[in-house]
Amino acid sequence: IIVVTIRKLWPQINKHKENFLIGIKRGMPILVIAIIMLLVNGGEIIVNGHLDIPNFISLVLVSIAIGIAEEFIFRGWLQNEIMNKYGSTPKGAMITILVSGLLFGLFHLINALSGQDILTTIAQVIQTSAIGILFCSAYYVSKNIWSLVFLHSFYDFSVLLGEVNSYKDCINNPDVSLIANIITLVISLLFA
């Protein structure tokens, strides 16, 4: 929010408030995946009968904070900066969407520094690059940052809900099984 304010990008971000549903419609693949993950992960919690409420609240807050921060940085600031450089022609838009989406994915390499294993990190970079490209195209069409904040936050919440009981003090347990990494990588490649 500070970067967007300093760079005076609020007019670009706020100019199409009515396009919230256009952004959601364009991001429909993420919404569908998030709903499926919510049902699967929520069902697992119901079947196991164990939900740590403080961890759940922490997960909600972390998901919202990540959604706001990453969308304002990567769509609100970076995508607008790249668009200003390459223009809004079809070629300029394609370059902007691809570069912004790939940078969003590469940003997630930082998770390896927090102890996440390299296979999980590579899978996450591929997955978030694909999601980033989709989000960039949704933002390009809608110019509505809040639809992307919603999609991003809801997706993160739905995916991480399965790990809600491993959250403590807003920090996730980085241990993920090999099969989960392989499934994530395959799905991400198909999605990309």
Output the pLDDT for position 49: 74
Q: What is the pLDDT of residue 169?
A: 44
DSSP 67: H
Q: Show pLDDT as tens, one digit a residue, over the chain (192 residues).
A: 676 677 676 666 666 667 889 999 999 988 988 898 888 888 887 777 777 888 889 999 999 999 999 998 999 889 988 998 998 899 999 999 999 999 999 999 998 998 888 888 888 898 899 999 999 999 999 989 999 999 999 999 998 887 775 544 444 444 445 555 566 556 655 655
Half-sphere exposure of 74 (CA within 13 A, CB side): 32
d(CA 157, CA 54): 15
Predicted confidence at residue 109, as pLDDT, reads 93
Q: Check residue 170 and give its pLDDT.
A: 44
pTM of the model: 0.81
DSSP 8-state symbol, 89: S
How many residues can be counted in the chain? Answer: 192
Q: What is the pLDDT of residue 173?
A: 46
H runs (alpha helix) in the chain: 2-6, 10-14, 20-26, 28-48, 53-71, 80-86, 90-107, 118-142, 145-160, 178-191
Q: According to the model, what pLDDT value does residue 40 have?
A: 86
Q: How far apart are the first and last CA of the chain?
A: 29
